[in-house]
Amino acid sequence: MFDILKKKISNVVKSVSKSVTESIPKKITEKKISEKDLKKVLDDLEIGLLEADVAVEVIDKIKEDLKKNLIGQIVKRRKVKEIISKTIKNSLLEILDVPKIDLERIVKENKPCLLVFLGFNGSGKTTSIGKVGYYLKNKGYSCVLAAGDSFRSAAIEQLEEHGRKLGIKVIKHKYGADAAAVIYDGIQHAKARGIDVVLADTAGRTHTNRNLADELKKICRVNKPHLKILVVDSLTGNDVVPQARMFDEMVGVDAVILTKIDVNKKGGAVLSVCKTLGKPILGLGVGQKYKDLITFDREKFVDNLLG
C-alpha cells in the first residue's frame, strides 16, 4: 500500500539530508542552511510527488514548510536527517488534520437519519453503502436502503443484492423515476416503521451532465440529508481534486470515503483530498468485504509513509 509515495518521501528525506550535509565543510560540525542548499532537492521533490499523484497545492505546502523550517537554521551535521524527517512529518500531519466525525452521534440525534452517498460511477459508491450499512447494523441500528440511482443500468439490482446479503430492505421505483421521490419514500418508510437510518444511493455524476447535477441538488433540497458522503476512488490520481471540489460546490460535502486503498501504490489522493476539502474522512475502503472499511488515523498513516 502506497509503496510509490513512501519511496518518494524517503527519497526526499535522503536527498535534502545529503544536500545539506555535503554543503557543510568537513572540518565544521554545523552550518546555517541557505535557499541555495535546498533549490535542487525541492525541484526534485516536486517531480517525485507529482508522480505519486500528490496535488500541486499539497506539494507547495511541503516545500514551503521545508523552506520555513530549514532556511536560516543552524544545523549540526549529525542532526540534519532528524530535523528534515520531523519537518516533513509535521507538514504531512497538518495536511491530514481534518475534523473528526462521529457517525453514531449523528445517527442518534436524527431519526430517521438520512445518509446520501455521492460520487462518480465506478468509485465504489454502492459497495461503500453496503459497508456502512453493515457497520451500522452491527452497532445495533436498523437501516433501509433507498435506490436513488434510477439512471445507471443495473444500479437498482446491485443495491438489492447488497440488501439481500445484509438483510436490509431496499426502497425502489422504476428506472427513470425521480430520485428525490425515491429517497423521500425511503424516509417515509423509515418513519412509519421506526427505522434508524436511510442510506441513499445516487446516480454517478460527471462534469458535463447538467441534468444529473440538477437532480442531485433537488435530492438534497427536498430531503435535507443529515450527512452527504462523497465516495472517491483513490486510484483516480489528481482527478480527485476537481471531482471533490465539484461535489462540494454543487451540494456541500460533509464527509469522504476513499476506496481501493488496498491496491493503491501511489497514495497521493489521500493527501490531496484532505488538503483540498478539509472534510472528515469517514473511512478507507481496503477490500471488497463488508468489514473492509477502516477508520482513518492520520498518525498511523504518516508513520506508515515515513516507514
List the single range of 93-102, 107-116, 142-151, 261-270 with lowest mean pLDDT. 261-270
Model pTM?
A: 0.89
pLDDT at 102 > cutoff 70: yes
Mean of per-residue pLDDT scores for the chain: 87
Give me the helix-helix angle, 56-70 and 268-277, nearest 10°.
Answer: 90
CB 34 within 8 A of CB 71: yes
Question: When comparing pLDDT for 246 and 27, which is higher?
Answer: 246
The domain covering 3-95 belongs, at the CATH homologous superfamily level, to SRP54, nucleotide-binding domain (1.20.120.140)
Q: What is the pLDDT of residue 28?
A: 64
The domain covering 103-298 belongs, at the CATH homologous superfamily level, to P-loop containing nucleotide triphosphate hydrolases (3.40.50.300)
Q: What is the pLDDT of residue 26?
A: 64
DSSP state letters, the chain: --HHHHHHHHHHHHHHHHHHHHTS-TT-SEEE--HHHHHHHHHHHHHHHHHTT--HHHHHHHHHHHHHHHTT-EEEGGGHHHHHHHHHHHHHHHHT-PPP--HHHHHHHSSSEEEEEE--TTSSHHHHHHHHHHHHHHTT--EEEE----SSTTHHHHHHHHHHHHT--EE---TT--HHHHHHHHHHHHHHHT-SEEEE--PPP-SS-HHHHHHHHHHHHHH--SEEEEEEEGGGGGGHHHHHHHHHHHH---EEEEE-GGG-SS-HHHHHHHHHH---EEEEE-SSSTT-EE---HHHHHHHHH-
CB 250 within 8 A of CB 119: no
pLDDT at 234 > cutoff 70: yes
One-letter identity of residue 27: K
pLDDT at 204 > cutoff 70: yes
pLDDT at 125 > cutoff 90: yes
Q: What is the pLDDT of residue 56?
A: 86
Task: Give me the phi and psi of 219, to 5 degrees please.
Answer: -55, -45
Instruction: Quickly state the pLDDT bin for 205 (edges 50, 70, 90).
Output: low
pLDDT at 20 > cutoff 80: no
CB 135 within 8 A of CB 196: no
pLDDT digits (tens, 9 = 90+) for 30-79: 777 778 877 777 887 788 888 888 888 888 988 898 888 888 888 776 77
Instruction: Measure the CA–CA gap between 102 and 112, rounded to whole angstroms.
Output: 16
Question: When comparing pLDDT for 195 and 209, which is higher?
Answer: 195
Q: What is the pLDDT of residue 156?
A: 93
Listed in order, the ranges of the chain carrying CATH 1.20.120.140 are 3-95
* Bridge partner list, 131: none
pLDDT digits (tens, 9 = 90+) for 261-292: 888 877 788 888 888 889 999 999 999 999 99
Listed in order, the ranges of the chain carrying CATH 3.40.50.300 are 103-298
For the record, the C-alpha cell of 42 comes out as 525541492
